[in-house]
């Protein structure tokens, strides 16, 4: 593997305007990565305070079982543009058990989570019948 990081898009930059729960993106191969830096770039939110966007990063040891590795802090529908990142580093083993059947709390990272594949997932909620939208991308730098 090259010493240079590999850059992948878990979600390309786009406006998403349909309320949806747990929309998973296409998985990427990350088997040879020693760590991952995942960036969430929210360029516009077009809704009201009650609308929400939750973005997750999942990893899989085998391509069938998925474990939530990170849950970015929930973003309100009227929030300003923002850029956030998390670091997943298996050399940081953690100190407590992780229940793999539940998502991490908002803003939480499980840094030791690793696997052969990685995917992004998001939930966009419309708090009323007024329409919502979120323009964002989710990228990953694999090292």
- Residues 135-141 have a mean pLDDT of 96
Residue 21's alpha-carbon distances to 45, 52, 62, in angstroms, are 17, 11, 24
Model pLDDT, residue 134:
95
- Residues 41-64 have a mean pLDDT of 92
Model pLDDT, residue 1:
43
Task: Identify the band that residue 26 occupies on the pLDDT scale cut at 50, 70 and 90.
Answer: very high
Residue 54's alpha-carbon distances to 4, 31, 136, 138, 142, in angstroms, are 30, 26, 11, 12, 22
Model pLDDT, residue 44:
96
For residues 118 and 47, the model is more confident at: 118
Q: Convert the pLDDT of each residue in 82-136 to its tens digit.
A: 999 998 888 876 655 566 667 888 878 887 777 899 999 999 999 877 778 999 9
- Residues 54-63 have a mean pLDDT of 93
Residue 49: CA count within 13 A, CB half-sphere = 0
């Amino acid at each position: 593997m090259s010493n240079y990081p590999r850059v992948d898009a878990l979600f390309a930059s786009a406006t998403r305007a349909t309320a949806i729960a747990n929309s998973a993106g296409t998985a990427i191969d990350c088997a040879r990565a020693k760590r991952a830096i995942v960036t969430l770039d929210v360029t516009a939110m077009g809704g009201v305070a009650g609308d929400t966007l939750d973005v997750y990063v999942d990893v899989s040891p085998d391509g069938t079982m998925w474990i939530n590795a990170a849950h970015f802090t929930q973003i309100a529908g009227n929030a300003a543009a923002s850029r956030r990142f998390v670091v997943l580093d298996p050399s940081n083993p953690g100190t407590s058990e992780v229940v793999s059947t539940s998502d991490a709390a908002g803003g939480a990272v499980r840094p030791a989570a690793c696997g052969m594949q990685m995917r992004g997932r998001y939930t966009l909620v419309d708090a009323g019948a007024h329409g919502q939208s979120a323009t964002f991308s989710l990228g990953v730098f694999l090292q």
